[in-house]
Structure 1
Amino acid sequence: MNQKELPLLNPVSLPHPGKLLIIEPLDYPNPYDFHRAHRHDYFEIILVKSGNGFQLIDFSPYNIKEGQLFTIYPGQVHLMERKTAQGMIIQFKKDIFEFIHPLKHSHLYFSEASFDLDDETFTHLYDMTESIWDLLQKEELSALSIHKAYSYLQIILITLIEKHCNNTVDIQGHQVVTQFLSLLPQNIKTKKKVSEYCDLMNCSSDKLNLACKNRLGKTALKLIHEELILEIRRLLLLNQLSLKEIAYELNFDSPANFSGFIKANTGLTPTELQLSILKIYN
C-alpha cells in the first residue's frame, strides 16, 4: 500500500479546541471513550487529591493514590481506571509555551510519568490548580486574568522541573537530553540515525551520547530504538493498520526488516508482540 493511502491515526484532541488551557475535575465526563486506550495531542497533568485507581501510560502500570501527580505528553498511549480517585486534571496545548517563556515543551519530557510529592508541595500545586480553575469558570476573561492563569501554570511546571532535576549536577547535559527526548516522538517515523537528531539539535554525536549516558545510562541510538519500539507498540495497540502498513508507516525498507527489528529488540515476532500488548489492555 502506498504510504499516502494509509488511514489517519487521529489522536484525541483537547475537548475545547479554541482554548490553550483547561482545568477539569478528575471524574469529569470525557468527550471520548476513555475506557479504551487512547493518545492525546496535548499535555495532561493529573493531580490525585484522594482515593485510588489504576492507569497505564505507554505500557507502564501505575497505581493511583492520594497526593500523587502524573504527567502525560502528546502521543503517549493512556488508559485510566479512576475507581474512587478524586482530583484535578490540567490540559494544555504546546502552543501555550509561547506565553510562558522561557519554558519549553521539551522540559516536560520526564524519565518517569509519576511524581511522589511531599504534602506541602502537593498542596501548593493543587491550590494553584484550583486558582486556575476558578479563573477559567468566568465567561469572559480579561487579558490580565488569562496571563494570571498562565502564570500559575508556569509556576506548577517550574516546580515539577525543579523536582525532576533536583539531583542533576550537569544542567546543560539535562537540557540536551530533554531536547533529544522531545524530538524523538516527533521525528521517529522518518529519522532513525543519531546524526539526524544531532543536525536538528546542532550538536555533535559525542556530546549527545555523553549526555544520554550520564543522565539515562544509555546511548542515543539505544534511545532511538526504544522510541521506535514504543511507537510500534502504540500502533499495534490501536490495531488500525496491518503489520505491513505499520512497516510502511514507520518507513522500514521492507516488512522483513520491520519484523527483524522487532525480533532483535523484543525477542518476539510482530504478531506475538501485538497479542501480548492487546492482552495487557483488555
Structure 2
Amino acid sequence: MEKDYRFANVTLPHPNSLLVIEPLDYSNPYDFQRPHRHDYFEIICVEGGQGTQYIDFKKFDLAGGQVYNIYPGQVHLMHRGSAYGVLIQFRKDLFEFIKPITHDQLYFNNPAFTPDQSTFNRLYDIAGQIKDLLLQEELTTISKYKAYSYLQIVLLTLVEMKDKDSLTINNSQLVSLLLSLLSENIYSCRKVADYCELMNCSQDKLNTACKNALGKTVLELIHEELLLEIRRLFLLSPLSLKEIAYELNFDSPANFSAFIKSHTGLTPTELQASILEIYK
C-alpha cells in the first residue's frame, strides 16, 4: 500500500512563541514516528540513553553528550529509544533579536557535534536556564530577551566549534551562507553564477572557499542540494515522478531522469524505492 506523506511538513506547535524548550521525550503534536520536515530550527541535546535518528537520509546513533542541529527543510526521523535530553526549537524570525549572528550560520554541512563534557554541560545548563525563563507565569519582555541571549550563547558555541574545523572563519561564513541560499533557492537557481550574484562574490573566491572548507566545488554542492531535494520530495511529496520533475523546474522528465541516473546510477523509480525502503 502506498504511503501518504502529505502531512509531513511540521510547524512549531506554539504559534505565539519564537523559542520553545521541550524534553526529548515530549508528546509531539505530530506523528514523530514518520519522516517529516520542520519549518523551524531544532537543537537536540542528548544527555543520556540510546536511540537513532535520520537527518536527510543519514543515520546517527544517539548517545549522551551529543548535540545535533537541524535546520528548516531537512528531513528528520527520530527513534528515541531510551535517549533523553532537551530540544531547543526556534523560528527564523528570532534572529532579528540576536544579531550579529545570522540564520545562515546554522546551515552546517554536518549536523552532529560531540563537544567535550564541560562544554556539553554548559550548553545543557543554558538550555535549562532558558526553560526556567520561558516557564515564568508572567513572561516579561526582559525575560524574553534574556532567553534569546542565552540561545545566542548556545548558537555561537556551535558556530565556534564548526569554525575550528575550517580553514578560516571568513571561508566558513561564506560557505554557510551558500548552503543557506542553496536550501532556499534550489528550485530556481542552478548555476554557479546565480549564487555568486546573490552573494556579491566572484566564482573563484566562492569555489576556493568551498574547496577549502568542504573539498567540493560550488557546482558539486548545487548538484548535491538538488539531489537532496529530489530525495526529500520522493519521500514526502504526494506528487508523481513526472510532477516532481516539473516542480523542480526540469524542462522534461527525460532530463530529470538523466540527472538522477548520472548522480546515482539509478532511475527515478529505483531511487524512490530505495528511499522508501529506509523509512519502512
* TM-score bin, normalised by smaller chain: over 0.9
Letter in 1 for 2:269: T
- Say whether 1:95 aligns with 2:93: yes
Structure 1 equivalent of residue 176 of structure 2? 178
Partner SS, residue 132 of structure 1: helix
Structure 1 equivalent of residue 119 of structure 2? 121
Structure 2 equivalent of residue 72 of structure 1? 70
Q: Which moved more, 1:161-170 or 1:210-219?
A: 161-170
Structure 2 equivalent of residue 236 of structure 1? 234
Is the 8 Å Cα contact of residues 11 and 38 (structure 2) preserved in structure 1? yes
Structure 2 equivalent of residue 257 of structure 1? 255
Letter in 2 for 1:24: E
From 31, 34, 55, give the equivalent of 1:33.
Answer: 31
Cα offset for 1:9?
A: 7.8
Structure 2 equivalent of residue 5 of structure 1? none
Give the aligned length.
276
Structure 2 equivalent of residue 163 of structure 1? 161
Is the 8 Å Cα contact of residues 8 and 236 (structure 2) preserved in structure 1? no
- Structure 2 gaps of 5+ residues are 1-5
Cα offset for 1:30?
A: 0.4
- Structure 1 gaps of 5+ residues are 1-7
Question: Where does structure 1 differ by over 3 angstroms across 4 or more consecutive aligned residues?
Answer: none
Distance 2:277 2:132 in 1: 41
Cα offset for 1:167?
A: 3.5
Distance 1:162 1:173 in 2: 13
Is the 8 Å Cα contact of residues 37 and 74 (structure 2) preserved in structure 1? yes
From 200, 207, 216, give the equivalent of 1:202.
Answer: 200
Cα offset for 1:238?
A: 1.1
Letter in 2 for 1:94: K
After superposition, what is the alpha-carbon deviation per residue over 1:88-143, rounded to whole angstroms, capped at 9, x for unaligned? 00000110000000000011111211111111000000000000011111232111
Percent identity between the two aligned chains: 62
After superposition, what is the alpha-carbon deviation per residue over 1:57-83, rounded to whole angstroms, capped at 9, x for unaligned? 000000000111111000000000001
Q: TM-score, normalised by structure 1?
A: 0.96
Structure 2 equivalent of residue 56 of structure 1? 54
Structure 2 equivalent of residue 105 of structure 1? 103
Structure 2 equivalent of residue 224 of structure 1? 222
Partner SS, residue 63 of structure 1: strand
Structure 2 equivalent of residue 3 of structure 1? none
Distance 1:96 1:248 in 2: 34
- Say whether 1:214 aligns with 2:205: no
